[in-house]
Structure 1
Amino acid sequence: MTNTFKQSQQPSRAPSTDESAQRGLVNALLDPRRYPHAVKNVRLTETHISWVLLAGRYAYKIKKSVDLGFVNFTSLALRRYYCEEEIRLNRRLAPRIYLDAVPIGGTPKMPEFNAQPTLEYAVRMRRFASSKQLDQLVSRGQILPRHIDSLAVTIAHFHASLPAAEAGSEYGSAAAIYSAVSKIFEQLQVLLKDSKDEAGVIALRDAGEAEYAKCLVWFGQRHAGGFIRECHGDMHLGNIALIGQQPIPFDGIEFDPALRWIDVVSEVAFTVMDLLHCQRPDLAYRFLNAYLEATGDYSGVSVLRYYIYYRAAVRAMVNAIRAGQASLPQRAKGKALASCRSFLALAAERIAKRCPGLIITHGLPGSGKTTFAQAALERFQAIRIRSDVERKRLFGLSPLADSRSQIGDIYGADATRRTYARLHELARELLIDGALVIVDAAFLKQHERELFRQLAQELGTPFAIASLQAGAATLRARVIQRQNDSNDASEADLAVLESLQEKQEALSPQERLHAVAFFNEGDSSATDLEAWKKLTRLLSNT
C-alpha cells in the first residue's frame, strides 16, 4: 500500500506569520457579525497549537503559527494543508462533525469568511456540548458499560478497515517508536525545572528504555504482521464525544503522519491509559478486553505496557507545555503542572506493573462463567480469553454467527481439542507478558483443567479455579433465555446442557485446594464477598 501522506505534496515552509497579527484576527472573530450564519455570541477556547471559536451551530478551529518541533504551522500554506488533512482524517470516524476547511479573507480587523485575499484558514465543525466529552462523563460517573463496549467495537471495526503500512515503511518501526518517545522526554526535561521533576523524568526515561529493549522483537513482528495503520493517533477521553448514545472519536492527529501511522495497540493504549488516569481501571479493562475479543489481537498485549507508558508521557508533555504558556492564568498553570505530574506517576506505575496469574472457570452452560469473568477482569485488571469466541474464530466465524447454519458442527472432540490448545497457547503468551489471565471455558474434564494448572506451575504463577454453580432449574432458564436473546457467542441449548451434566467430571480433592465456589443462585452477595476474598488470596499466594 502507498500511504496517503506520501501521495500528498506538502507545501514549503515559508516564513512564519507574526502570531500577534494572527491573534488580532482571532480577536476580531469574537464579533458575532463576522459570521455568515446566525450567531448570538462567540466563545474562544485555546490550546498550545490552536484557537477554537464556538459560534452558533459551528466551531471554527484556527491553527496557531507555531513550530514546536513536533508540529509546524508557520506558514499559511502549511495551515491550509493541515486544515484539509484534518477534515480528511477525521471524517473517517466523525463525518457528521467535520464539515470543511474554510478560507477567511477581508482584513485582520474586519475578517470575512470565503473572501479574498485569504488571510487564514479554519476547520469548520458542527458543535456538540463539551459536557458530552468522555473525560467529563467519566468524571461525573455518567459513562455506562454499554458506551465502553460500543467504543471498543467502533475502534476495532475502524482499525480493521485501514490498510497496513508498507513493509519497508519507517512508520511504526522500532526506530520510529524510540524517536517519538525520546522527543517527548527531551521536551519534558526542558519544560520541567523542579529538581524532583527532573530526577523523576530521568528515572522514568531509563525504565522506559529497559522496557523498549524487551519489546524490540515484538515491535518488528507487529510491523511485519500489518498492525501499523493510519490511525486516529490521539484517542484520549477528551477527544471522544457521546453523540446520540454513540461514542465518536474526533480531533485525530493531522500534523505529523508518524504520530498516526502507528500500531493499533498504541491507539488502544491511549484510551486505556486515560481511563486508568481517571481512576477507572474497571472501564479501562472492560474497553481493552472488548477490543481484544473483537479483533483477536492478543499478541498486542506484548507491547501494551510500553504503549501505556508512552501515552501517559504524551499527556504529561502536553500538560507541561500548557503549564509553560505565558498567557495562561497562574491557577490554570498550576492545574496543568499537577496533571503533568499525575501522568508521569501513572507512566511509572504501569511500566513496572507485572502481576501474572491464571484463573480458569469451571461450570455448566448457564452457570454464569462469562458474567463472573467480566466482573473478575474489571476487578483484577485481567485479560480474558473466551472459549466460545475463540472456538468460532478458529473456524472463521464471528462471535454471534450460527455455526450450524454455516459450516456444520464445530463442537466435536477434535474441534474442542483445538479450541483448548488455542486457549492454552494464548494463555501462555499472555502470562509470559506479565498479564493476569482469565480463561472463560467450561473445563468440565479433569485433563483440561490439569493442562492449565501445569502451565501455571511451569511459569511460576498463581493458579485458581473459579467454580460457578447454580441449580438445575436456573441453568435451564438461563440457557433458554440466552437462546431467545441471540446476543451471546455461546450456542449451548438444553440438549447440550443435559449431555454435559452427564459427562462432567467433579473437581478432585487436589483441585479443590485451588478452587473458589461462586453460587449464582438468588441473592448470593454475602457468599460472593467471601469467594472474592478467597480468590484474591489465591492470586496473591497468601
Structure 2
Amino acid sequence: MDPSLVHALRRQLQSETGQGVDLVETHISWVLLTPTLAFKLKKPVRLPFVDFSALAARRHFCEEELRLNRILAPDLYLDVRPVCGTCDAPYIGDEGGAAGDAIDYVVRMRRFPDGMLLNERLMSGQLKGAELDDLARTLARFHGDAPVATVASGFGAPEGVEQRVMAALGSLEGACGTARLAALRRWVEGKVQGLRMAWLLRQRTGAVRECHGDLHLANVVRLDGRLQPFDCIEFDPSLRCIDVMSDVAFLTMDLKAHGHTDLAFRFLDRYLEHSGDHEGLPVLRFYEVYLALVRAQVASLRGASGEGHPDEGHPGVEDYLLCAEDIVRRAERSPRLLITHGLSGSGKSTVAAQLLELAGAVRVRSDVERKRLFGLPALAHSADHALDIYTTEATRRTFARLAEAARIALQAGYPVIVDATFLCHAERAAFHALAASLRLPFAILDLRASPAQLRRRIASRQAGDLDASEASPAVLERQFAFQEPLDAQERAMAISVETEMRPDAASLCALWMAGT
C-alpha cells in the first residue's frame, strides 16, 4: 500500500464524518481514528518476522486479527472491510464486498477513549486492584479454553525458546554494548540448560497453547467497565502458540517495569487461584527476563525511529534492562515458607494477600485448592453441587496438594505462603518438615481475634458471598472445640498478630523476611 492511499483515505473519512481523523503509525501498520471508530491497515512490508507485501496476505491477516482478538475483546473488534475505489479516491466498502473491488483491507474497530489503556490507568493512579483481579480470571479462563499446540508442531520447544532469547540479547548488544548485557547473558545461558526438562514437560502436558503473545500493558484496555486484552499477535503462530506462563510473564514483567512489583504479584496470585498452574512457576522468571529484553529491544527500535517516549513516563531501554536485572536479583534470594494459623475469620487470607504483594511471594490457599480437587471454581459453593468436600480423605488430599504446590514454588525460588487454618499440630509439623527438607526458613503467622469478632466476620463474609471460604458459624464453633494450640517449639517460630485492629503488613513482612 502506498502511504498516499492512507492519507487519501484519511481525507475521505474526514469528509464523511465532518471531523478530524487522527493517524497513528507503527512499523507494520497505520491506524486511522475517527471520533467513534478505528480503521487499522497493514503496511505492505516484508520483514524478517512478517510478510504483508501481498494484498491476499493483508486480507488473510486482517481476518486472523479479527478472529483471534474477538475471543478476548469481542465488543472492540467489529469486522474486516475492503478499501475500494482508487488510491486517489478510496472509500471503505461494505463487509463481505467483492474481492475484485478491493485495493486493500482494514480491520474496523470501536475507538476507545484516551487514557483507558492499562499503562495509562496505572500511571494516572486510576487502576483498581479489582480490575486486575478480573483480568487474571479472564486470562486464566482464556488459557484454559485455548487450543493446545501439539508436540509435533515444535511450538514451545526448548530450542525455540533459547533461539528467541539469544536473538533478543544479540540485538540489544548491538544497541547497548556487550558489557552492559554481560551479566544478563550469563544468567540466561545458565538457565537455558537447567530449564530444558521443564520446557519439555510443559510442552508435553498441554501448557503450550494459542495465547495472546504480546500482552504488555499498552495492549490491555478498559472497555465497558472491565480490562480487555487486544492486539494479539496474528502474523506469526510461533509467537502466539506459547507457554501460557509466557503470557502471564508479559503482564507481570511490565507491571514491574512500571514500578509496581506489588501489583505484579497480586495479578500472579489471582491467576494461580483461577488456573491452578503452579507447575508453571519454574519457567516464569525466565520468561519475564526474556520479555523484558524484548520490550527493551522494541524501545530501542522506537527510539531510533523517533517513536519512543520514555521521558513521558513510558519505560525505555534502560528501564526494561533494570527490570530484568531486578528479576534476576530476586531469583538469587533465599526462598522461605510461611504457614498461617488461625480460626476461620481471623484474617488469614486478608493478611496473606497483603504480605504476598510486599514480599513478592506465591500463595497457596486451602479453600481454593480443596475446591479445585473436585472441579469447582474458587467462588463455587460445594453444597450447590451436592458435594461433600470436607471429608477426612478430602482434607488429606487438600493438604497433599498444598505441600506439592508449595514445594514447586519454593524450588522455583519464591517465598511461599500457605493459607490454611492449620489447627492441627500434625498439619503444621508436615510443612515444617517440608521447609527443613529444603533447608529453608520456616515461620508460622499466628492470627487471633476475639470470638465475637470471628463470629461477626463469618456472618459478614457469608452475606457478601465473594470469598472462597465456606466456613459457617457452625464450622467456627466446631473449630473452637477441636483446635490444637501452638506448642512451645511452634510459638518460638511464630509471628503473632492480633487482628482486631488493622495489622501493619509492612512490619509483618519485615519480621518474616528477617527470620532465619
What TM-score, normalized by structure 2, do the two folds share?
0.93
SS state at 1:91 partner:
helix
- Shift in Å, 1:29: 2.8
SS state at 1:41 partner:
coil
Which one of 437, 442, 445 corresponds to residue 416 of structure 2? 437
| Equivalent-residue separation in structure 1 for 2:216 and 2:452 (angstroms) | 46
| Equivalent-residue separation in structure 2 for 1:337 and 1:282 (angstroms) | 19
How many corresponding residue pairs?
Answer: 509
Say if 1:39 and 1:56, in contact at 8 Å, map to a contact too. no
| Counterpart for residue 42 of structure 1 | 21
| Equivalent-residue separation in structure 1 for 2:406 and 2:297 (angstroms) | 35
Say if 1:47 and 1:322, in contact at 8 Å, map to a contact too. no
Say if 1:368 and 1:520, in contact at 8 Å, map to a contact too. yes
Q: Quickly say closer, same or farther: Cα 1:189–1:39, change in 2 above 3 A.
A: farther
**Root mean square deviation, CA, Å:** 2.2
Q: Quickly say closer, same or farther: Cα 1:134–1:535, change in 2 above 3 A.
A: closer
| Counterpart for residue 510 of structure 2 | 536
| Equivalent-residue separation in structure 1 for 2:314 and 2:216 (angstroms) | 18
Deviations 1:438-496 (CA, angstroms, capped at 9, x unpaired): 00000111221111112212212222211111111111111122222222221111221
| Equivalent-residue separation in structure 2 for 1:404 and 1:34 (angstroms) | 57
Report the residue type matching 1:127 in the other structure.
R
Report the residue type matching 1:238 in the other structure.
A
| Equivalent-residue separation in structure 2 for 1:234 and 1:314 (angstroms) | 10
| Equivalent-residue separation in structure 1 for 2:430 and 2:491 (angstroms) | 16
Q: Quickly say closer, same or farther: Cα 1:165–1:402, change in 2 above 3 A.
A: same
| Equivalent-residue separation in structure 2 for 1:538 and 1:336 (angstroms) | 33
Which one of 308, 311, 330 corresponds to residue 291 of structure 2? 311
| Counterpart for residue 494 of structure 2 | 515
| Counterpart for residue 83 of structure 1 | 62
| Equivalent-residue separation in structure 2 for 1:237 and 1:219 (angstroms) | 26
| Counterpart for residue 319 of structure 2 | 342
| Equivalent-residue separation in structure 2 for 1:384 and 1:258 (angstroms) | 32
- Shift in Å, 1:534: 5.2
Query: Please, which moves more after superposition, 338-347 or 292-301?
Result: 338-347
Deviations 1:5-45 (CA, angstroms, capped at 9, x unpaired): xxxxxxxxxxxx6xxxx2222222332x3468524011111
Q: Quickly say closer, same or farther: Cα 1:514–1:397, change in 2 above 3 A.
A: same
Report the residue type matching 1:108 in the other structure.
C
Query: Please, which moves more after superposition, 491-500 or 103-112?
Result: 103-112
Does 2:97 correspond to 1:123? no
Report the residue type matching 2:507 in the other structure.
K
Does 2:249 correspond to 1:269? yes
Does 2:4 correspond to 1:24? yes
- Shift in Å, 1:314: 1.4
Which one of 18, 24, 44 corresponds to residue 65 of structure 1? 44
Say if 2:359 and 2:509, in contact at 8 Å, map to a contact too. no
| Counterpart for residue 410 of structure 1 | 389
| Counterpart for residue 437 of structure 2 | 458
| Counterpart for residue 366 of structure 2 | 387
| Equivalent-residue separation in structure 1 for 2:456 and 2:146 (angstroms) | 42
| Counterpart for residue 168 of structure 1 | 152
What TM-score, normalized by structure 1, do the two folds share?
0.89
Report the residue type matching 2:515 in the other structure.
N
- Shift in Å, 1:283: 1.3
Which one of 226, 230, 244 corresponds to residue 246 of structure 1? 226
* Pairs within 5 Å for 1:198-209: 198-209=178-189
| Equivalent-residue separation in structure 1 for 2:486 and 2:311 (angstroms) | 58
* Pairs within 5 Å for 1:1-400: 22-31=2-11, 33-34=12-13, 37-114=16-93, 118-190=102-174, 192=175, 194-195=176-177, 198-325=178-305, 328=306, 332=309, 339-354=316-331, 355=333, 356-400=335-379
Does 2:478 correspond to 1:499? yes
Say if 1:320 and 1:337, in contact at 8 Å, map to a contact too. no
Say if 2:62 and 2:106, in contact at 8 Å, map to a contact too. yes
| Equivalent-residue separation in structure 2 for 1:90 and 1:401 (angstroms) | 29
Query: Please, which moves more after superposition, 304-313 or 331-340?
Result: 331-340
Say if 1:93 and 1:250, in contact at 8 Å, map to a contact too. yes
| Equivalent-residue separation in structure 1 for 2:16 and 2:115 (angstroms) | 24
Deviations 1:191-216 (CA, angstroms, capped at 9, x unpaired): x1x54xx3223442332121122211
- Give 5+ residue unaligned stretches, structure 2: none
Report the residue type matching 2:327 in the other structure.
R
SS state at 1:254 partner:
coil
| Equivalent-residue separation in structure 1 for 2:54 and 2:511 (angstroms) | 61
- Shift in Å, 1:242: 0.6
| Equivalent-residue separation in structure 1 for 2:256 and 2:67 (angstroms) | 31
Say if 1:387 and 1:441, in contact at 8 Å, map to a contact too. yes
| Counterpart for residue 6 of structure 1 | none
Report the residue type matching 1:176 in the other structure.
G
| Equivalent-residue separation in structure 2 for 1:402 and 1:34 (angstroms) | 53
Query: Please, which moves more after superposition, 342-351 or 401-410?
Result: 401-410
- Shift in Å, 1:120: 2.6
Identical pairs, percent? 44
Deviations 1:234-279 (CA, angstroms, capped at 9, x unpaired): 1111011111221111101011110000111111111111111111
Say if 2:258 and 2:315, in contact at 8 Å, map to a contact too. no
| Counterpart for residue 4 of structure 1 | none
Q: Quickly say closer, same or farther: Cα 1:374–1:519, change in 2 above 3 A.
A: same
